[in-house]
Amino acid sequence: MPELPELEVLREKLTVKVKGKKIKSFQVLKPYVLKNIFEGDLSNETIKKVSRRGKYLILDTDEHSIVIHLMLDGSLRYSLPTARLKKSTNALIVFTDGTTLEFSERGHKKRMAIHVISRGGSLVRISNLGVDPLGKDFTVDTLGSLLKRDSKRLKSFLCSQSRIAGIGNAYADEILWKARLSPFKLSSNLNEAETKILSQAVVDVLKWALEHVRHARQPENRSFLNVHGKKGKTCPRCGDVIRCVSFRKNDTFYCPMCQTGGRRLKDRRMSVFYR
């Protein structure tokens, strides 16, 4: 699933490609992708702004906002008039100059979501999102308050979109490795020094990832990561073997020497106590 770095780079690219373009038509080719009732018309409206909120991309037009969540396998493709339409295309914006913006999704789960709402209107999913970790409101004090609000394992806390918006499974692993913190440590147990270290790690890792994604030929390629997806590989910091534990549908990658005092964590796939 794309997370904040990939989506922020996509926002930057879309801003260059579609901002200022006038819409000729908005076509929903597979009805299940549109998650709200929209009987209006986007024709002759202009894309005024492309923004990101957490893992959502938002295209603001004159009178509407097109809110997009790519989920696991969704993608956006800006195409010239000569390009063929993909079979996996769920929806399509055709601009008056003939270019298009395709909303596509691979696989069979079909979880990609599009909402079209009146500009200035609200969407509960957006309203409930937490602080943006690269925004001015993300501070050590803010993080400290969020950590104490409820007692969650740090990995779960970082992935909780109602607390911090935009971080997912991959970058949570990288942040905790950077901060030398166990993914299973309770958020309420962090002291002041650990909170400062975690706060800095969040910002540093996301900015570091942004630069990698910006210059990558394939933005979805995460081979540059230090621990996520690297089970059995050598930790680039201490040389220990990177381990992996599972919970529900997600794998957590960590370095025992750097993060857990050399201890290997137990697989909590079946645990009801890991939240």
Range of the domain at 180: 140-259
Q: Output the pLDDT for position 92.
A: 96
Amino acid at 139: T
12 pLDDT band, cuts 50/70/90, is very high
Q: Tell me, yes or no, whether 75 and 148 share the same domain.
A: no
Cβ(225)–Cβ(175) below 8 Å: no
Q: Output the pLDDT for position 182.
A: 97
Q: Whole-prediction pTM value? A: 0.93
Q: Is the pLDDT of residue 273 over 50?
A: no
CA distances from 219 to 17, 38, 83, 123, 263 (A): 17, 32, 21, 28, 34
Q: Tell me, yes or no, whether 105 and 176 share the same domain.
A: no
Q: Output the pLDDT for position 162.
A: 96
Q: Tell me, yes or no, whether 147 and 221 share the same domain.
A: yes
Number of domains comprising the chain: 2
Q: Tell me, yes or no, whether 123 and 226 share the same domain.
A: no
Q: Tell me, yes or no, whether 83 and 191 share the same domain.
A: no
Q: Tell me, yes or no, whether 92 and 174 share the same domain.
A: no
Q: Tell me whether residue 204 is in a domain.
A: yes
Q: Output the pLDDT for position 268.
A: 63
pLDDT tens track for 59-114: 999 999 999 999 989 999 999 887 788 889 999 999 999 999 999 998 777 789 99
Cβ(23)–Cβ(48) below 8 Å: no
